[in-house]
Amino acid sequence: MTPPTSHPASLAPEIALRSADPAGAAPGATGGGWRRLLPRSLFARVTLIIVIGLAIAQALTFAAIRYERGIAMRELMMAGIERDIASSIAILDRLPAAERAGWLDRLERRNYRFMLGGSVTGAPPASPSSQAFAAAIAGALRPFEVAQVAQADDAPDSLRMQVRLSDGSPVIVAARRVGMPVSDWVMWVLGLQLAVLACCAWFAVRLVTRPLARLASAADELGPDLKGRTLAEEGPTEVAHAARAFNAMQGRIAGYMAERVEILAAISHDLQTPITRMRLRTDLMDNERDRLKFRHDLDEMNALVREGVTYARTLHGTQEPPCRIDADALFESMVADYGDAGQPVHLEGRIDEPMVTRPNALRRILANLVDNALKFGSEVRIRVRRDEDRLTVSVLDDGPGIPPDQLEAVLKPFYRVEGSRNRSTGGTGLGLAIAHQLASAMAAELSLRNRSEGGLEARLTLSTRPATTAD
């Protein structure tokens, strides 16, 4: 059974999202009530559908067999019970009246018995099966007279019939239809059969969905450095073909990104040489005013080139190995450096224990966030909070904030909210992009939000590891 481009680096999250959500519904989408009851995973859904289908099929088969056997047994009973009752009545008729009571126990069977004397009262049989049962018995009792037929009060399938013997004595015949007996072992066999079918269905579905899980896992591991693991191209034909296609896609994306990064790095690097020559020639200019203007423009160009080279490097991720650090000392040193430069940056909160992370990448992220906050705010705070195995570092400012519809856009390269496009106020547009790329390379999450009291909060959330497991 088979269950049902922009930036190239964004393909990996998109693949992971599509493969992780087999129903194809966007997160938060609401469906029918029955859809909310279904399990989330494709494996559980397909297994549940197959097991329920097998159970329904077994129940229908069992019901059909039981119904057919019931009809056959009823026909067999209808063909034999009336003759047995007629034979018993004939025996009672030939016995002397005094000896009839002693024969009642001998003539009694599981589905009929006899009583001497009395009368029958009650409603006549109502169901077609009961009427046919009574008519068959009455037909077999001829020439004995059936005076009265009534439905028994204690059981819906039982009849009471008053028969007159040849000497006029009344005999009450209590007869009942016996249903088809079902042995206990039959139900155990059916349960065992369903369990075997469920195990087979589980194994079959696992065989189908396991490659999808591996594909989703490989897509999740495809980070900014585009160095995901290669899937094994083995197994069934469809699975091997999907693995080959995914591996080929990884190679193509990595090639495209490497080419773009090399072009960006080469342009940024090659621009440094003419900028240096232009700066030397500017120093030889006689006009002081023009020399200052040219130097200012060259400084901006040089800053943009440096940021471009840095961003090109972050596109390949960070090669810095994780190590154990004193994060509190790192944060305090950064705040002290900004204080020495006369910039008001305050630290709130502590971790009070070592953690394993990439210190240079973490410092670069926080430096970019703080520099961005200082451009638009007069006071900046670094707030540190640890919850179990998660560390949250927030950079808060008292600036004007960012329009809500641009909170995601400012994380893209060369995007600046400042409308004048002035480098002195708006920057290069790469600071937040570099921080975002480094955060992704560290498996961290960088998010922006406007504070209710005014200003912007840049929140970096990353996982921590015990110091004893340092690499």
pLDDT tens, position by position, 42-65: 667 777 777 787 788 877 887 777
Domain boundary among 119, 148, 176: 176
For residue 324, is it within any domain?
Answer: yes
Q: Sorting pLDDT into bands at 50, 70 and 90, what band is 72?
A: low
For residue 89, is it within any domain?
Answer: yes
Domain boundary among 176, 193, 222: 176
The domain total for the chain is 2
For residue 46, is it within any domain?
Answer: no
Q: Which helix (H) or strand (E) holds 171?
A: strand 170-176
Numbers of helices and strands, H then E, in the chain: 12, 11
Where do we find the tokens 């065992």? 192
Q: Sorting pLDDT into bands at 50, 70 and 90, what band is 212?
A: confident
DSSP 353-366: S-EEE-HHHHHHHH
Would the pLDDT of 300 be above 70? yes
420 or 368, which is more confident?
Answer: 368
Q: With contact defined as beta carbons under 8 Å apart, do 434 and 379 qualify?
A: no
Ranking 4-18, 65-79, 178-192 by mean pLDDT, the lowest is 4-18
Residue type present at position 413? P
For residue 311, is it within any domain?
Answer: no
For residue 454, is it within any domain?
Answer: yes
CATH code for the domain in which residue 111 is found: 3.30.450
Task: Determine the structural domain holding residue 126 and report its residue range.
Answer: 69-176
At 269 the pLDDT is 72
* Average pLDDT of the residues in 370-399: 87
CA 412 distance to own-chain centroid: 30
Q: What is the mean pLDDT of the chain?
A: 76
Bridge partner list, 324 = 356
Q: Which residues contact 454 (CB under 8 A, 6 or more apart)?
A: 398, 401
| First vs last C-alpha separation in the chain | 44
Domain boundary among 152, 176, 200: 176
83 or 34, which is more confident?
Answer: 83
In the structure encoding, which two tokens stand for residue 393, read together? Answer: 């570092």
For residue 355, is it within any domain?
Answer: yes
At 73 the pLDDT is 61
30, exposed or middle or buried, with CB in 10 Å at 0-12, 13-18, 19+? exposed
Would the pLDDT of 33 be above 50? yes
At 17 the pLDDT is 35
For residue 444, is it within any domain?
Answer: yes
Where do we find the tokens 């896992």? 217
176 or 419, which is more confident?
Answer: 176
Which pTM does this prediction carry? 0.45
For residue 288, is it within any domain?
Answer: no
